[in-house]
Structure 1
Amino acid sequence: MKLRIPATSANLGCGYDTLGLALDLYNEYVIEPGAQDALIGEDRELATHMVFGARNLACEILGLEKVPFRLQVAAAIPESRGLGSSAACILAGVCAALALNGRPLEDAVVLETASRIEGHPDNIVPAWTGALTASLDTGTRILHHRIEPHPDLVYLTIIPPFEFSTAGARSAIPVMIRHRDAVSNLSRVILLTEALRLGQTDQLPELLHDELHQKYRLPLIRQLDEAYGRLWDHCLQQGDPIFLSGAGPTCIIPVMSEQAPALAAELNGRIPSCRILTLRAASQGTEVLAE
């Protein structure tokens, strides 16, 4: 079986643990039955590889046999940068557990199992379905809704040269939040999805504003790279619609396609250490390219 799974950006500012966007940057996984588990072409420990770990957990959750397999990965999604690398690996592991046991890749089973392993569905759902998604884990099932972003929107994806721990980023968020902060985010979420669907970029700087997670995570990221902090401040001063991708450190600026080249060139000049990609929303989620 060969899978192609897109990168994802979770949260999108105000949509903390709820919104996710699939992007046209992909990991490919080739999964073949084998006499024992094996990783082809990479010098990494199987015991710590997320695909094998997700397979193990999926088999425990679903009561399946841990059928050994050979894995080959062509990875374009950077790890520990807030672009859904772990979600892609978890989906590959869940698909391996099901397929090697002769089970179909049913949407509900895949999403519920992968979300249980990941801990939340905001990256898992768009990586599986594509496009922009809103999702909810009710405790018994995953409810989700798919929205097609405007086709002329592109996403300038600014990837710093350092990693950022998702666990550390989550631990920075306070257990208790203010009522007005919750209202601030809730009042923006539906308006944000509509603006992305319609391509109303003039509204995005205000709608992407967040009170629940970014203001707690950004100080930690600024400590890792002063130039990154200056870039963020510059974008806010210019009125650019910027948000942290997932827990960071990657940040994303959604703009109309005709504006992207000039803005990308300016950003490259300001922070040359970063990798800047011009991505589009991926309308297709996880694809089975070969069985």
Structure 2
Amino acid sequence: MIDHLRNMAIFQCVAELGTFRKAAERLNLSPSVISHHVSKLEDQLGTPLLYRSTRRMSLTEAGEKLLEAAQKMSMAAADGLSAVQRRADRPSGTLKITAATPTAHSPLVENYTRFSAAYPDVHLDIHLTDSNVPLEGSGFDVAIRGRVQDLDDSSYKARKIGQLQLCIFAARTYADARPRPTSIEDLSSWDWVRARPIPWARVAGPEVQQEPRIVMTADNYTLARKFVEDGLGFMVEAHELVAQDIRAGRLVQILPDKALPEIDIYAIYPANSPKDSLAHLFVDHITVHRGFPR
């Protein structure tokens, strides 16, 4: 088995670099030794792995499949070694995180605090914005998002870390000035302060045709909340963000018995992040300790 693994590793190097000479330079071996190991592997498997010619070298179908397996093997080995090293060392460095502005009022803040307490040598650099930052080339290590449809490309992974329940709320003065609604359709005559690009059909259901009048749109949660508190209209947001204000009577929940959709919250990070990276460490931590309801 050890011989097979060694030969697979050498074969992977040849396949990725494209020539025996380059693989020999990388592995500090002679080209003849490299060729010997690849030929031995072909003999062991009973099938050719490479098409060789004087001009070029290419993979056979079996070679392509073996290369994929060898790369997974190498990645798993590297991850295992890194995980052991991470436990032995004290993590340090800077971790850049981008998240939506409303998360400053969410249970996620407690996760930031717990992570910093657990890893005091890691500097969290947190950026809050109300627009999705394209991760490619942004310099951010982790993004916290309420959806994954707009993932930049397949080079990123998304791990679900919880859910938030939507609710409808308004200032008591605004709600008391109108007939008490008994259904979502009754809100068609109300005013909507919109702070999140949620289609009304997502909130009310596709069977509800008439939408409320959008009286104000703000791309900032705090600003939209101020408009609601001033009595301009109602707002749709995560219940966890306003639960304390509703309990204290500063806001009133509209149609509290109406089951509204939930928002899945994801941590997004590069798929090729090593297991010992700060991104993996942070995502593992908030997944274990949660902070968002599930």
TM-score class, shorter: under 0.3
Which structure is richer in relative contact order (CA contacts within 8 A, separation 6 or more)?
1
TM-score relative to the length of structure 1: 0.23
TM-score relative to the length of structure 2: 0.23
Q: Is the radius of gyration larger for structure 1 or structure 2?
A: 2
